[in-house]
Structure 1
């Protein structure tokens, strides 16, 4: 029986990254409250949200597959799937920063990042829709910024409009021009889906890329 792969995300960037593995998959769009809990660290936040997104994706997938709703596991085994959930936040000066949403906020975020290092934490969870067996990790990635002028920052924001990107840049695009160096195990992590770790988690669910 083939186990389906479901990406619980609306992100076109995560979809494009997952396509690199050349495995068939489907996307599903769970709604999850991404508000941080009081006292929650960045690592705790992304781990919790990645798990919630994967679980919400399992529920949506199961609702779309009638046999999975059956009490009899023999029937539900006709639709086995693993659901991938992921979430990411950026931390600068010990503070979690989110999506800027406006040009003014994007400029402020990049001014704060100029000459400093931002660490991104990406939570990744892979859950089986029937057994509920789950594996999760948090992967860090650090970006070291150049010393940027206000003119450079403003020009970048106008060109790429990174209003829905935590940290106010798109690493897969012109954002690379903002960096002095990158520090991490997997450049895909910076865009939102750590493939090296994902391959390991899929393997735990008996899904091999090669």
Structure 2
């Protein structure tokens, strides 16, 4: 089972007792920022082992929930999100500042991404945010580039410019410098826009510059997934 959004220790706590109750072994493999949960069972007959493992896996799914478990088997986060977009006949656009194209790279890592990914804009400088995404200069001056307001405007601009059905945008301080007491290193604002409206989030992610960017990318794509599944109240 592929998961994102919880630490390994938190997942382990959630799954306490399953091994003993179902006579299985639960193993973890971390592939930052994801965690793979494996349910292993042994029995004289293969069918019995598979049945026991399946029953335990269902309990794992129930405890962690669909917001954390995004797929089973050899499926990437992008593929799982892509399948959801295809089910709804939708295409995704991206607008990236602090992630610098990482989200587009994640989405296009495997073939077939053109079926659900329309394209993206990397808008690092404020002038590019203004010129290509239509972010108002007064908004940038009032709130700063790293703000929910600018993230929303970037997402809405990408939706309009690229012509997609849904867009996700990122703006933040990946570090190692650039932080302030109000907006420390790791602060990332991201937003998802659809034709029905826009939602945003602001987080402070821990770790190195690389880790902050990876966590931000996955968190934003997870918000896209939530919006597709539950609407703008996600």
> Scaled by the length of structure 1, what TM-score is found?
0.45
Bigger helix share = 2
> Scaled by the length of structure 2, what TM-score is found?
0.41
- Indicate the structure whose relative CO is greater, using CA pairs within 8 Å and at least 6 residues apart: 1
Pair member with larger Rg: 2
